[in-house]
Amino acid sequence: MLDNKEIFLQSIVNHVYFAGSIRSFCTTIGLTFFRNNQNYIDRAIEIGRRANEIVVRALTLSYKELADEIIKSDVYITPYTKDVEELTEKLFEVNLEIQIDADMKLLTSRGNASFDNETMNKVNELNNDALILVNDFNDFCSEIRRKLDSQDLFSYLYPDFYEYIINEISVYGRDLERIISKKDYTEFYLREYTYYFNELLKKSAEFVRGFLDTSHQDVMDLATFYVDSFANLTEKYLKNRDDTSLSAETENLVGEYKEFIISILKRVLSSELYFITPPVVLDNFLTNINAYLFIIDYARNLMKNK
C-alpha cells in the first residue's frame, strides 16, 4: 500500500506530465477547426484552462528535490518547448499564452517536502479533480471522433489522432485510480504500462509519417522503421506478457526513437521539415517518451528498494 510520500510524489509527476499533455492537446484541437466550429474551439480552450489549473496546483505543491528530477527528466518542459510554442504562434497567428517562464519559476522556487494532513488533503482533492478532467476530456475527444467518422464535423487532425490522445490520457486515468486506491506498482502493472506506452509510441511514429511533407523520404523511412519495430514488440507482448526481457527491449528502442524525435524537432525549428499539424504536437511526442522512461525507472527503483 502506498504511503503519503509515494501518493504525493507519484501524483505530482502524473499531473505535471499528463495534465500538461491535455493542455497541449487542447491547444492543438482548437487550432484545427474552422471558425464555424467555434463551440468546439471554445470547449477545447476551457478544458485546456482546467488542465492548466491542475498543472499549476501540482507545481505549487511540488518541492525542490522533486522539481529538480522533473526538470532533469524533461517530462514537462523540454529544451525545445518554448521555441516550438513560439513557432506554433507564428505559423497559426495565435497567442498560446505561453507561461513556461512562470512554470519554471514555480518549479525552481519550491521549498522542503511536507506530507502533513493539510498537504495530503490538497493532493487527494487534486487527484479527484484530475480524474474528472480526464473523463471530461476523453468524452470531448470521443464526441469529436464520432462526428468526424459520420462527417458531421471537420478537423485538420486525423480521426485516429483523437483515438491516440484518448488512449494516452486513459493511461493517466488508470494511474490516478491506482494512486487514489493506494496500490503499489507491481511487475504486472509495469509490464502493462510498458505495453500501453509501446502502443502509444507506435502510433506517434505513424503520425510523424502521416503528418510529414512527403518529400522527405529519409524521415519517412525511419518513421516506418519505428512503426514496424514497435508493432513487432506489441505482437511479442500479446503472445507473452510475462516475458520480462521485453521491457529492456522496449527501453532500448524508445531510447533510439527519442533521438529520432529530437532530430525532427531540430529540423522543424530550422525550417528543414514541415508538418501539417501544429509543432506543439511534436514536443508532446518527446515528453511522452521522457515520461515513460522516467516513470518506468522510478517505479523499478522503488520496487527494488522495498
- CA distances (Å), 148 to each of 27, 137, 154, 203, in order? 18, 17, 6, 19
Which of these ranges, 98-102, 195-199, 230-234, has the smallest mean pLDDT? 98-102
Q: What is the pLDDT of residues 254-304, one digit of tens each?
A: 999 999 999 999 999 999 999 988 999 999 999 999 999 999 888 888 877
**SS3 at position 284:** helix
What average pLDDT is seen over the chain? 92
User: Cβ–Cβ contacts within 10 Å for residue 30, how many?
Assistant: 23
Q: Using an 8 Å Cβ cutoff, are 19 and 55 in contact?
A: yes
292: exposed, middle or buried (Cβ count in 10 Å: 0-12, 13-18, 19+): buried
pTM of this prediction?
Answer: 0.92
Domain boundaries, the chain: 4-304
- The domain 4-304 is placed in CATH, from the list 1.20.1260.120, 3.30.230.10, 3.30.70.330, 2.70.170.10, at 1.20.1260.120
Q: What is the pLDDT of residues 211-248, one digit of tens each?
A: 998 899 999 999 999 999 999 998 888 888 777 777 88
Q: What is the pLDDT of residues 21-48, one digit of tens each?
A: 999 999 999 998 988 899 999 999 999 9
Work out the angle at residue 35's Cα, subtended by the Cα atoms of residues 94 and 56, and round it to the nearest 5 degrees.
Answer: 45
More confident residue, 235 or 50: 50
